Amino acid sequence: MALLGLFGKKKKEFRASCNITREPLESGFGYLLTTSQIVTSKKYWDLVMTEPETLSYTISHFNNQPSGTQMRNMIFEKYASVAKPWMVSDSVINYFEIDKTEARNNAKKWWETEGAFTPEMTGPAAQKLDATTFNSIKDYAVLEAGRGRINTKK
């Protein structure tokens, strides 16, 4: 009978990866941010709108092609509507102007609860930010993000 314990189902180890870079995170590490904290970062939008997957839309947008602007708006809506908190790695945490100690402590609580912990203000950005802030950051993300990183036709 003692051998049965050796072959019993082992509980699957709880794992996580950075929601931005997809790099795996060691248990207990990372930072836990809300969608509002993510989307209010202009550095983050400059990164997102110039990634290989989105660069063509950014170039189209700055060349006054409505389809590029439309896609950038859809990208913004996709990220801004995330309801769950974001786990973020050390490699991108400096894109965000947040209290790193609080974000690290929230991540530890998140790990301890195997992803069940959610910080205050978790939810889609449109529901958690005031309208002026939300619209201002949306305008930046859709209309301006990445401008300095691309060359447009004259």
Q: List, for residues 73-84, the tens digit of each pLDDT value.
A: 999 999 999 999
Q: Tell me if 2 is assigned to some domain.
A: no
In the predicted structure, residue 1 carries a pLDDT above the cut 50: no
Which element (helix H / strand E) includes 3? helix 2-7
* The pLDDT value given to residue 13: 82
Q: Tell me if 86 is assigned to some domain.
A: yes
pTM: 0.88
In the predicted structure, residue 142 carries a pLDDT above the cut 50: yes
* The pLDDT value given to residue 119: 96
Helices (H), ranges, 40-129: 42-48, 55-62, 66-80, 100-112, 125-128
Report the SS3 class of residue 24. strand
For the chain, give me the number of helices (H) and strands (E)? 8, 4
In the predicted structure, residue 50 carries a pLDDT above the cut 80: yes
* The pLDDT value given to residue 14: 85
Average pLDDT over residues 124-136: 97
* Residue 83 lies in domain: 16-149
Q: Tell me if 69 is assigned to some domain.
A: yes
Q: Tell me if 56 is assigned to some domain.
A: yes
Q: Tell me if 127 is assigned to some domain.
A: yes
* C-alpha pair distances (Å), 7 with each of 4, 11, 130, 150: 5, 12, 54, 57
